[in-house]
Amino acid sequence: MGRGLKGLVKKGLGEMDFTAGGGVINWFPGHMAAATRAIRQRLKVSDLVIEVRDSRIPLSSANADLQPQLLSKRRVIALNKKDLANPNIMHKWVSYFDSCKQDCIHINSHSKSSVQKLLELVELKLKEAISREPTLLVMVVGVPNVGKSALINSIHQIALSRYPAPDKLKRATVGPLPGVTQDIAGYKIAHQPSIYVLDTPGVLVPSIPDIETGLKLALAGSVKDSVVGEERIAQYLLAVLNLRGTPLRPPLEALEQQENGRDPV
């Protein structure tokens, strides 16, 4: 996002008293606090983490509080909802994460072939551990509404075709609103070695101090509209659309380009 847009956004947000009272967005229901504690404990014993982010906002859709712990784990960043993202920008994000020495792949959690490529990368990352561990634990984490549960369901379907089980595996609950999954559930997806995938609730940081990050998350559906205010979200979106002349889709990728001074484009 250029300086003109940044200035326009900050001016508009200032007029709406967005910064009054401190933190920009404070949406941290009780289940999120409990889930964050549980996730931290299970991360300690996980062999690999799939961190699901939104392809349109790969930086803003990261949970900043979990990043220090995730950096110490084997990790694959799955940029989900690639069908909604700008195809001209996606490969540049992969290059950006490659420069950070971080495995990254764009996926569509509803596409079997797309999820299959993710699993192949996961298996490659676990190759060394598979040779010495009889049981492996893969944890799926991410902020609300990035598509974790849909990904889990697709993984189940692939696992069932590979390793037929006598009992039907439970499907993860999927919904259009953030906060649908509120428990940590484990699912066995492979035998010899046994590989378990943990689906976790979407969790945010207790407070999002950056105005634009909060609005990007709201536009992507990771924060409930009512928390931010529909009018504020609409005003922010219209400011971006008017400046960029984009008539249809919200240009979230363009908003993301300037975040933290990092611009892959």
Annotated binding-site positions for GTP: 80-83, 108-109, 202
Element (H, E) at 101: none
**What DSSP assignment string belongs to 193-260?**
TEEEEEE------S-B--HHHHHHHHHTTSS-HHHH-HHHHHHHHHHHHHHHT--SS--HHHHHTTGG
Residues 6+ apart with CB under 8 A from 21: none
Angle at 236 between CA 234 and CA 240, to 5 degrees: 115
Residue pair 187/170 in contact (Cβ under 8 Å)? The answer is yes
d(CA 258, CA 16): 23
Binding residues: 80-83, 108-109, 202
d(CA 105, CA 41): 26
**Nearest one of 85, 64, 68 to 257, comparing CA atoms:** 85
Q: Are strands 185-190 and 194-199 parallel, antiparallel or unpaired?
A: antiparallel
